[in-house]
Amino acid sequence: MNDHTSARTPAAGRKSGHTNLVLGPSTRTAARRRAFITALMAAPALLMALPAQAADNSLNDLRQRGVVRVANTQTSPPWSFLGQDNAPAGYDVAVAREMFRRIGIPKVEFVADKFKNFIEGINTGKYDVVVNSLAKTPDREKVVDFTVPYAVQDFRIWVNEKNQDIRDAATLKGHSVGVSAGTSNELWARRNLPDSEIRTYEGGGFLYNDLVSGRLDSVIDSYVHGNSVRTVNKLPVKPVGEPLVYSLGAAIVPKGAAALREAMDKALTDMRADGTLERFGHEYVGTDYDMVGNMNKATKAW
């Protein structure tokens, strides 16, 4: 016996509980016409119910306004700082001005903020973009969009000149390590130095003050920034070991601002190709600093 019950058509002449109606050709045609008209009338309502695709006016809005608000720390020479005239200066500042000149936005208004506030600041509309050589990380990519890179830094361990114990990352075990809060330096240190005491600082200057005074055993900072602080302030500090990591830096825009990001990408790509980035690197970072060459050598995946 089969486990499935076969359906049988009632035998001829047997009464069924249902009455079968047979429609004529004209009736069927009228029914089809009514169904078509009903569907046609419902179409606009269905289209209105679909979510509208928001137009991307991120670039046009700034062009019409004629001014873009650009955030950076203004406390991180040679990248961004206040010059002798108390106006923003540095590599990031020069890049921002030239980039937006090429895009067609004549006025750049710089907004000083702390590194750790950049993501929140751009997402709350405090400023339009951040040009502060930010490293791209998975967590940041979830909430903002990155341009192509326009800078690179190699990060080193800095110690007091008198220190003979710390020679590389392995010898940081049991020592205090200072990093700027919210930076990729902090992220790297927390991931790779579980046996060190990681201390965060709001400004780069405080890091080196504590390093010189002995309140801090080491600092993780870019060679460029550390060397600038050492030279300008004549501090007794030195870099030790090989670079911990090369970090490519980019600008960030609000998530989904594709038109603005693409315009910035084109301007930065052109500036890299025509020697502008190299020229700015020599002017602000150092005549011996090969900005584009180091970008090409960067080992950090982008």
Predicted pLDDT of residue 51: 44
pLDDT for the residue 10: 38
* pLDDT value of residue 17: 43
172 shares its domain with 219: yes
> Tell me, what CATH number does 282's domain have?
3.40.190.10
Whether residue 211 is found in the same domain as residue 97: no
Residue type (1 letter), 106? P
167 and 146 Cβ atoms separated by less than 8 Å: no
Please give the span between the terminal C-alpha atoms of the chain, in angstroms, as a whole number.
67
- Domain contains 35: no
Tally of residues, the chain:
302
In-domain check, residue 17: no
Using CA atoms of 77, 78, 80, 82 in order, give the dihedral in degrees to the nearest 10: 60
φ and ψ at 6, to 5 degrees? Answer: -80, 140
Domain match, 124 and 72 both: yes
Question: What is the distance, to the nearest Å, from the Cα of residue 243 to the centroid of all Cα atoms in its chain?
Answer: 23
The verdict on residue 30 lying in a domain is no
Please indicate, yes or no, whether residues 147 and 261 belong to a single structural domain of this protein.
yes
Number of domains in the chain: 2
Q: Domain for residue 77, yes or no?
A: yes
pLDDT tens for the chain, residues 1 to 302: 334 333 333 344 444 444 444 445 555 555 555 655 555 455 444 444 444 445 789 999 999 999 999 999 999 889 999 999 999 999 999 999 999 999 999 999 999 999 999 999 999 999 999 999 999 989 999 999 999 999 998 899 999 999 999 999 999 999 999 999 988 889 999 999 999 999 999 877 799 999 999 999 999 998 888 988 898 899 999 999 988 988 899 999 999 999 999 999 999 999 999 999 999 999 999 888 889 988 988 854 45
**Which range of residues forms the domain containing residue 185?**
154-246
In a domain, 41, yes or no: no
- The residue among 249, 275, 263 whose CA lies nearest residue 132 is 249
- What is the rounded CA–CA span in Å between residue 104 and residue 260? 11
Query: Is the domain of 174 the same as that of 284?
Result: no
267 lies in some domain: yes
Please tell me whether residues 186 and 198 are part of one structural domain.
yes
Residues 110 and 220 in one domain: no
User: Are 63 and 141 part of one and the same domain?
Assistant: yes
> Do 208 and 238 lie in a common domain?
yes
Q: What is the pLDDT of residue 31?
A: 54
Same-domain check for residues 78 and 158: no
Residue 62 phi, psi (nearest 5):
-70, -40
Evaluate whether residue 117 is within a structural domain. yes
